[in-house]
Amino acid sequence: DVKVTQSSRYLVKRTGEKVFLECVQDMDHENMFWYRQDPGLGLRLIYFSYDVKMKEKGDIPEGYSVSREKKERFSLILESASTNQTSMYLCASSLSVNYGYTFGSGTRLTVV
């Protein structure tokens, strides 16, 4: 089975901190995605990547950046954390951009 691992289950950070969320997948998938989940808003795409060093903005990229230096690893960066970035962050990977997404367990980030 494909495994997508997010390095932290829970994080608490201070406003203004630079925050790194790490995601690793073990099935050689080209495509990787970062979502955030908020009540009533569903899953909103922040950034995605088709290949190493490739990235594309999703629906809500403001305040975030990403890094994909190796195929298996996709990092989400909060440049200067703010309280409105408190959320559940979900990483996914897939062979196809249109189906077969496998999600990690999520990182619950609280910005205080």
Partner 1 sequence: DQQVKQNSPSLSVQEGRISILNCDYTNSMFDYFLWYKKYPAEGPTFLISISSIKDKNEDGRFTVFLNKSAKHLSLHIVPSQPGDSAVYFCAASGGATNKLIFGTGTLLAVQP
Q: Which is nearer to partner 1, 15 or 97 (CB)?
A: 97
Can residue 110 be called a binding residue for partner 1 (CB under 8 A)? no
* Phi, psi torsion values for 83, nearest 5 degrees: -65, -30
Q: Residue 108 in 3-state DSSP?
A: strand
In the set 100, 109, 110, 112, which binds partner 1 (CB under 8 A)? 100
Member of 34, 64, 74, 101 binding partner 1 (CB under 8 A): 101
Q: What is the DSSP string of 6-71?
A: ES-SEEEE-TT--EEE-EEESS--SEEEEEEEETTTEEEEEEEESSTT--EE-S--TTEEEEEEET
The Cα 74–Cα 91 span in angstroms is 8
Binding-site member from 24, 25, 104, 109 for partner 1 (CB under 8 A): 104
Binding residues for partner 1 restricted to 50-79, rule: CB under 8 A: 56, 58
Q: Of the ranges 11-19, 65-73, 74-82, 91-99, which one interacts with partner 1 (CB under 8 A)?
A: 91-99
85: three-class secondary structure by DSSP: helix
Q: Which residues bind partner 1 (CB under 8 A)?
A: 4, 9, 33, 35, 37, 40-43, 45, 48, 56, 58, 90, 92, 97-106, 108
